[in-house]
């Protein structure tokens, strides 16, 4: 129970006397628990000890805290709200097509199924990122959560979301995450393998690979597929140069010159996504190189930019809008189906090689 000292502190801070409405943070401070715990109590959530629940409710009464009317109206039933969390980095530009296409697919599915969708961006290296995402879930009573890489690989975050009663689906989740929750994606390793095999058949024996951030496990699997294809054709590590970017056009522009200026330069630049490939293409144009005669270039995703640049970009197609749509469908199945506790499922969608003019014909 709250003691007199706590109540005196409450009065001293002006709660109820200044005209300022108390907030959920005031309730958390007075009851001595985390904000997430207060949200869980107010929303009737599980996993709260009776003594903690009583302490929170006494703080609510002492402060005359008023629960948001919309949340109160939903307290006895389904909120029909899903959250879609993307990473963001203020130091680099976003992969706008990938995010926009995922969002569009998810929104269309939500519209068809009668759910609303919250879009939220959380910086990957922000302190307290896990707490921020869990608070999003509890504050908005989200029944389901869709995570993009690298959050879809974060087993700790996934367990925290599951711990507050939220169903989770990962976009291109890693092996550990697939053991915990449903996921949807393409076979990134097979995509990298198929593309590299096609390039080897064209006669390429010297490669430059522009990788993305190591934390993005799905993109790392593209590199794995590239390496496996080389090994299966008798080519080892000496057959390629490796550079790391951040999936942006700018990083493709930055990485290309060092590869092109190497004493034993590659005949093809293989890029982990289309934005980096477009940057590499711009760097090659700046040198007056003929593409693909002087240097071939490939991407991954089949974003709209792949068909706009000149020459049009050879790439690997993945159905990004369908990934967003299927993620919502998997969540709704968990929320409304007859087997909510069935083992996690991974839906693997098809990829395809798209041969354009930055390489010879496959």
Q: How does pLDDT run across 331-357, given as a tens digit for each residue?
A: 999 998 867 678 999 999 999 999 999
Average pLDDT over residues 289-314: 97
Is residue 300 predicted with pLDDT exceeding 90?
yes
Q: Are strands 346-349 and 240-244 parallel, antiparallel or unpaired?
A: unpaired
Q: What is the pLDDT of residue 10?
A: 46
Q: What is the pLDDT of residue 95?
A: 55
The answer to whether the CB of 145 falls within 8 A of the CB of 284 is no
Is residue 7 predicted with pLDDT exceeding 50?
no
Q: Which residue has the higher pLDDT, 64 or 268?
A: 268
Q: What is the pLDDT of residue 73?
A: 40
Which band of pLDDT confidence, cut at 50, 70 and 90, is reported for residue 106?
Answer: very high
d(CA 11, CA 112): 50
- Work out the percent of the chain whose per-residue pLDDT is above 90: 67
Q: Which residue has the higher pLDDT, 352 or 42?
A: 352
Is residue 13 predicted with pLDDT exceeding 80?
no
In 10 A of CB 30, how many CB atoms?
25
d(CA 252, CA 278): 7
pTM (predicted TM-score)? 0.77
Instruction: Give the SS3 label for residue 191.
Output: helix
Q: How does pLDDT run across 144-179, given as a tens digit for each residue?
A: 999 999 999 999 999 999 999 999 999 999 999 999
Q: Please state which of the ranges 25-34, 99-108, 233-242, 269-278 shows the lowest mean pLDDT.
A: 25-34
């Amino acid at each position: 129970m709250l003691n007199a000292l706590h109540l005196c502190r409450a009065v001293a801070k002006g709660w109820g006397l200044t005209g300022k409405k108390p907030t959920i943070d005031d309730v958390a401070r007075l009851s001595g628990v985390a904000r997430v715990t207060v949200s869980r109590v107010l929303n009737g959530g599980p996993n709260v000890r009776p003594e903690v629940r009583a302490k929170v409710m006494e703080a609510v009464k002492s402060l005359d805290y008023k629960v948001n009317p919309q949340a109160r109206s939903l307290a006895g039933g389904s909120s029909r709200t899903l959250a879609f969390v993307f990473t963001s980095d203020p130091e680099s530009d976003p992969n706008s097509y990938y995010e926009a296409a995922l969002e569009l697919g998810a929104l269309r599915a939500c519209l068809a199924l009668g759910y609303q969708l919250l879009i939220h961006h959380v910086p990957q290296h922000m302190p307290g990122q896990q707490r921020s995402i869990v608070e999003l879930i509890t504050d908005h009573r989200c029944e389901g959560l869709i995570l993009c890489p690298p959050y879809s690989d974060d087993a700790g975050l996934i367990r925290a979301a599951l711990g507050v009663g939220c169903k989770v689906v990962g976009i291109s989740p890693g092996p550990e995450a697939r053991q915990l929750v449903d996921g949807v994606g393409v076979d990134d390793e097979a995509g990298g393998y198929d593309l590299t095999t096609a390039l080897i058949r064209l006669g390429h024996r010297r490669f430059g690979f522009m990788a993305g951030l190591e934390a993005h496990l799905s993109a790392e699997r593209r590199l794995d597929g590239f390496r496996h294809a080389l090994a299966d054709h008798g080519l080892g590590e000496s057959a390629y140069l490796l550079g790391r970017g951040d999936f942006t056009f700018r990083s493709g522009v930055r990485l290309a010159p060092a590869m092109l200026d190497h004493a034993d330069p590659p005949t093809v630049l293989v890029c982990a996504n289309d934005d980096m490939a477009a940057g590499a293409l711009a760097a090659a144009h700046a040198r007056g190189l003929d593409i693909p005669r002087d240097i071939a270039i490939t991407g991954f995703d089949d974003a709209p930019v792949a068909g706009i640049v000149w020459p049009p970009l050879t790439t690997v197609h993945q159905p990004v809008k369908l990934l967003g749509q299927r993620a919502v469908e998997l969540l709704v199945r968990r929320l409304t189906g007859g087997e909510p506790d069935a083992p996690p499922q991974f839906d693997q969608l098809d990829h395809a090689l798209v041969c354009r003019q930055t390489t010879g014909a496959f």
